[in-house]
Structure 1
Amino acid sequence: MALLEVRNLEVSFGLRSGAVKALRNINFTLDRGERLGLVGESGAGKSVLGFSILNLIAKPGRITGGEILFEGQNLASMSDRDLRSIRGNRISMIFQDPMMTLNPVLTIGQQMVECLMAHRKISRDNARTIAVQKLKQVQIPSPETRIDQYPHELSGGMRQRVVIAIGLLMDPDIIIADEPTTALDVTIQAEIMELMVELCERNNVALILITHDLGVVSQVTQKAIVMYAGRVIEQGPTREIINDAQHPYTQGLMNALPQMAIPGQRLNQIRGSMPGLQKIPTGCAFNPRCDYVMDICHHQLPGYTASGNCQVACHMVAEMKKSAQASEEV
């Protein structure tokens, strides 16, 4: 049994003009110690999916269909009281901006100790000892001193390490990291990502990394899910997707990487922009931006086609596979 299994997940937001679907028919599994990347532009639904796993969708959003099975328990239908034993304990979340996570008027130690004492029956002294150990794990120098400092006294990279330490406090089974390095410079980004991979491997912790950067995903994750307009459009082994992207959108994301451009020329980009939830095109949502659009793309939602070890939601890929099979039969 997979550690986490998401089945046919749907999330909707109720608006005055009517409900709109932010996530549609999401399916994936995550094994213990496995690293999964969620990729896509802003508005693709990556963060909504991350929040949905912990049932943290704020009103007017709500889970309207499907299951989120964590060790067989459905988190989507679990009560808030039961979820408290899982949030921050069995499943931790690392947010994009550490200053939105850390309380500016409490020391690092106060915040870590309170977190530990909320989930475990231990003394304050023991909680402080564990907090210092976690700060050491994330390579914070002089943790015995840093633990008594306030967030504003630390650099951006140091604050992000503290947030990771808090995420590891309860020895979770899964860490959901929502673009954890966006606010940091490139050198610190690499250090933080390397640290997270090392900690996950050492503690056999599963990681869900939410990002828009396929370059980071290629270096960190084993499986990848590419999302567009609230739907999974390609998923499979990261290496396979990076080396042979099948969906035109995934190909566009790959071509948009700086290293894919010719030096001295403009960077490649996907024309147009992500549609709003109230203006998702009929058929394939990517059809207004696709260079390979066909008539069927305008009126029929593509199903999933197996391509190697990947699943791709694209009419073109399906047609190419049919043609290849017909040629083999001849």
Structure 2
Amino acid sequence: MSLLSVRDLTVKFAMRDQTVTALNQISFDVRRGERLGIVGESGAGKSITGFALMNLLSQPGYIDSGHVMFGGEDIVRFSDAQMRRIRGNRMAMIFQDPMVTLNPVLTIGQQMVETLRAHRKLSRAEAEQISILKLREVYIPSPEERLEQYPHELSGGMRQRIVIAIALLLDPELIIADEPTTALDVTIQADIMDLLLELCQSNKVGLILITHDLGVVSQMTERTLVMYAGRIIEAGPTRQIINDPQHPYTQGLINALPQQTLPGHRLKQIPGNMPSPAALPAGCPFHPRCDFAVDICRRVRPEIMRFAEVEIACHEVSRLHGIPYKEESA
């Protein structure tokens, strides 16, 4: 049984003059202890997916339809009180910028102790001891002293380690990490990702890693979802997607990696930009940027289809696998 099962999840934003679809019927599963990557350019819907799973969407965004089964319960329709039992306790999220995540006017100790006591019946002394243990787990030196410090007194890498420690405080079953190293120096990023991988493996915690960095995904995850314009367009084992990408968009992401270009040569890039969710093209949303687009791509949105271990939404890939074009309305 999957720890998390997402089915046909659709998220919309009610704007002044129209309703915009940010996520369009996405479906995927995460098993207990599994590490799943979600990749794509800015605007693909990666972060919205994370916020929707945590039920943290704020107005004008809302979940329009679909199911998010977590531990056998559909949390989409949970009340705020019911979600407070889940958030931070069984499902935790690590955000992009630790300075936004941490409260600047509270000490590290106050924030960790309050988190623990909100979900567990603990004395302040007991909560402090657990906080110290968790800080040691993420290799924070002199953890007793750090409890008395404020976020601004710590380096960016130290703050992000503390955010990870807070996420692990209540031994969650699933962690959603949304670009957890974006605000950090390159030299610190690898250390943070190694730490997160080690902690997830040792604690048997499921991980959803949201990132645009395919290099990180290849090292951290077992399965990968590739998103484009609010849809999943390729999904499967990470090694297979990295080594043999099928969808033209995934191929473009791989080819755009710096290591794919010889020294002294211009970096390859996918032409054009991600379309606005308010003005998606007809048919396949990637067709204006695709070198392999044919007439049907401009008229009919491709359905996601399974080929062995990989799922792909592409007319041309389906044809290459012996499935004729389907003339259906978009």
The TM-score with structure 2 as length reference comes to: 0.97
Matched residues in 1 for 2:261 and 2:308: separation?
Answer: 28
CA displacement 1:82-131 (0-9 Å, x = unmatched): 11000011000000000000011111001000110111110000000000
Matched residues in 2 for 1:182 and 1:323: separation?
Answer: 41
Q: Which amino acid aligns with 1:40?
A: G
Matched residues in 2 for 1:41 and 1:273: separation?
Answer: 9
Deviation at 1:184, TM superposition (A): 1.2
1:173-212 to 2 correspondences below 5 Å: 173-212=173-212
SS of alignment partner, residue 270 of structure 2: coil
SS of alignment partner, residue 42 of structure 1: coil
Deviation at 1:308, TM superposition (A): 3.0
Which moves more between the two structures, 102-111 or 304-313? 304-313
Deviation at 1:145, TM superposition (A): 1.0
SS of alignment partner, residue 11 of structure 1: strand
2:316 maps to 1:316: yes
Q: Which amino acid aligns with 2:303?
A: G
Moved over 6 A (4+): none
Aligned residues: 324
Instruction: Quote the sequence identity (%).
Output: 61
Matched residues in 2 for 1:168 and 1:91: separation?
Answer: 10
Deviation at 1:167, TM superposition (A): 0.3
2:272 maps to 1:272: yes
Q: CA RMSD in A?
A: 1.0
Partner of 2:291: 291
Partner of 1:170: 170
Which moves more between the two structures, 178-187 or 246-255? 178-187
SS of alignment partner, residue 227 of structure 2: strand
Matched residues in 1 for 2:59 and 2:165: separation?
Answer: 29
Task: Report the CA distance shift for 1:174/1:323 in structure 2 as closer, same or farther (over 3 A).
Answer: closer
Task: Report the CA distance shift for 1:55/1:323 in structure 2 as closer, same or farther (over 3 A).
Answer: closer
Matched residues in 2 for 1:296 and 1:215: separation?
Answer: 33
SS of alignment partner, residue 225 of structure 2: strand
CA displacement 1:184-239 (0-9 Å, x = unmatched): 12221111001001000110000000000111000000000000000000000000
Partner of 2:30: 30
Gaps of at least 5 residues in structure 2 are 325-330
Partner of 2:327: none
Q: Which amino acid aligns with 1:50?
A: G
Q: Which amino acid aligns with 2:40?
A: G
CA displacement 1:53-103 (0-9 Å, x = unmatched): 011111111001110000111111111111100001100000000000001
Deviation at 1:323, TM superposition (A): 7.0
Gaps of at least 5 residues in structure 1 are 325-330
Matched residues in 1 for 2:195 and 2:71: separation?
Answer: 27
Partner of 1:282: 282
Q: Which amino acid aligns with 1:56?
A: L
